[in-house]
Structure 1
Amino acid sequence: MIGGIRLDETVTNVVIPTFDMKLLKPTIFTSSQAKRDESMMALLSDVVIGTAAAPTLFPPYSFQITTSEGVTTKFNLYDGGLVAGNPTLVALTETVKEMNGNVDYTKFRVLSLGTGTEEFQGYEADSHCWGKVALKYLLYDPILSTAGERMAEVYAGMLLRTDIYPNNYIRIQIDTLNSTENNMEDPSTENLQNLVEIGEKLLNQTLTRYDPSTGRFLPVSNGVTTRQSLLRFAEELSAEKKRRETKRKLFGAI
């Protein structure tokens, strides 16, 4: 349990996007900022509940932080997925802010885990009329729910130069779920087990990558599986950790 752990006390740096429904703006919580700014030194549990408050599924979440000088900041939070369904760009931006000097994006390694989306067909422009739709439909209409995520895919690929360095950015995502598999209101044991099986199958299937020309996740040309790609990613991280530890022993803090 995370109990009374504050954001500035996390084992590793974290970046958690939320949306403040009172101020109508994204609010990004980071452990690095919490260490510098007492007004952002939130309980990790508060931030997690706020970023998970998906509309129609969970109520919005409110909490406040009072600094040692008596200044109180109140947050009224909704699901971070409203502004960052794929938070890769948020993580990249916050990482770059902590770096000094020129940034070489080709040295970044990003692993992004999606939660799966339902397979859908787009609309012809003259056949789709918004009308007076319900909030739930509006929020989960395919056009609105995927637009931001797709833009994140395009820009992440551009920044990380995946056209030249395809292994720099791995996005594990499936966009062919049916309505039953994608039903977030069904926490039954049967449905959860079905999702586990989908994930296990995904590991053994060919890795997919977002294709801007079709708007779909398509199998990579070299046939590498998701499992193989993740193992290679882990090996790279392990090698980098050993390299840094060796450098630290020889030359002190990096």
Structure 2
Amino acid sequence: MLAAPDNNKRPLFTAKDLNTFYLENGPNIFPRKKARFLTPLKKLLGVFKGPKYDKIKGLTDDVRIKDTVTNIVVLAVDVKYLQPVFFTTYEAKNEPLKNLVDGGVAANNPTMVAMTMLTKEVLRRNPDFNMEKHSADYRHYLIISVGTGSSKQAEKYNAHQCAKWGLIQWLYHGGFTLIIDIFSHASSDMVDIHVAVLFEALQCEKNYLRIQDDSLTGKMSSVDIATKENMESLIGIGKALLKKPVASVNIDIGVYEPVAGEGTNKEALARFAMKLSEERKLRKSNLNS
């Protein structure tokens, strides 16, 4: 949404507009079922009826990646060849149509996708990027990875329960699609671990900032419950997260723990913003010299 253009090729939305946007339009994007009492089987069958969130197209004027106001990369999966595709703004301008589905089935955390595509453009000598050879060195990268929250601390199930399940229970149980959640969370966490270890090995761990809340519970851990009460709760969680200390995942127990001496997420974001501002000034100075 932040990259969607208006009629003047400027951002259609600003970051501060997003809360208001979802409070006003969330119920239309994520409509609630009229029937109050549905059996688990009926709920499961509803998943196979077709796209659930197609109403968002009318709110963004059918914007395509080639139209975005800044360069973005979206991981997708080619349904013809069943392989991941890095769909970028650059490529979309040359090949606007592809047969793709959501890349979350391949990489739910796109951090390494962005790193790979940036490196690819540097090696291709893309003039929009620093053309010096060392620019492809990860020690020169700044990565801000923002998660969408998870409920891994909720401890919903145990091995004794799961051992008795059949196909239906693994697909849908207690209002959650467990097997899909396992794939998506594990995929996301593995990327976080890989990037964190990589940056630590290169002695530039302060260049990687992961902001995530893994303590969501109940309705707040769902991605499509757009009641005013739930969305306001999520907004509150987001604001509180800024005041929490910078954290990284503990590989042994799989939960986030504070990083000593790094301050709060808000302070870390301010440091990143300062670095980016200084880099922009340097580039403008080089262009004018």
Aligning the two structures, in what range does the TM-score lie when normalised by the shorter sequence?
A: 0.7 to 0.9
Deviation at 1:161, TM superposition (A): 3.2
Q: Give the Å deviation of 1:181.
A: 1.1
Partner of 2:114 in structure 1? 91
The alignment status of 1:17 with 2:17, answered yes or no, reads no
Query: Bigger CA drift: 21-30 or 152-161?
Result: 21-30
What are structure 1's unaligned runs of at least 5 residues?
A: 42-64, 66-72
SS in 2 for 1:92: helix
Compared CA separation, residues 247 and 87, structure 1 to 2 (3 A): same
Farther off after superposition, 126-135 or 26-35: 126-135
| Structure 2: 5+ residue stretches without partners | 1-5, 7-59, 124-132
Structure-1 residue corresponding to 2:256: 217
Aligned to 1:112: 145
For the residue of structure 1 that corresponds to 2:86, the secondary structure is strand
CA RMSD of aligned residues (A): 2.5
- The residue that corresponds to 2:155 in the other structure is 121
The alignment covers a number of residue pairs equal to 214
Query: Structure 1 residues 243, 162: closer, same or farther in 2, change over 3 A?
Result: farther
Write the mapping of 1:147-226 to structure 2, written as runs, cut at 5 A: 147-161=186-200, 164-222=203-261, 224-226=263-265
Could you say which residue in structure 2 is the equivalent of 1:27?
85
Equivalent AA in structure 2 for residue 88 of structure 1: T
Identify if the C-alpha distance between structure 1 residues 5 and 193 changes in structure 2 by more than 3 Å, giving closer, same or farther. Answer: closer
1:211 Cα deviation after fit: 2.1
Cα distance in 1 for partners of 2:254, 2:236 equals 26
- Please state how far the C-alpha of 1:163 moved relative to its aligned partner: 7.0
State the match for 1:135 in structure 2.
Answer: 171
| In 2: Cα distance, 1:10 partner to 1:81 partner | 20
Distance change in 2, residues 1:212/1:202 (3 Å): same
Deviations 1:104-136 (A, max 9, x none): 111100111111001343977787436323534
Aligned-pair CA distance for 1:87: 0.4
- What are the superposed Cα offsets for residues 69-125 of structure 1, whole Å, 9 maximum, x if unpaired? xxxx5x152x33222221001001111111124521111001111110013439777
Query: How many angstroms does 1:237 deviate by?
Result: 0.6
Which residue identity lines up with residue 148 of structure 2 in the other structure? T
How far the C-alpha of 1:5 sits from its partner, in A, is 4.8
Does structure 1 retain, via aligned residues, the 8 Å contact 2:139–2:202?
no
Deviation of 1:247 (Å): 1.0
Q: What TM-score do the two structures reach when normalised by structure 2?
A: 0.66
Task: Point out the structure with the larger helix share.
Answer: 2
Shift of 1:26: 2.3
- Please report how far the alpha carbon of residue 206 of structure 1 lies from its aligned counterpart in structure 2 after TM superposition: 0.9
Q: What SS is found at the alignment partner of 1:99?
A: helix
Contact 2:262 2:268 in 1 (8 A): no
Given that residues 149 and 213 in structure 2 are in contact (C-alpha distance below 8 angstroms), is that contact kept between their aligned partners in structure 1? yes
Identity of aligned residues (%): 33
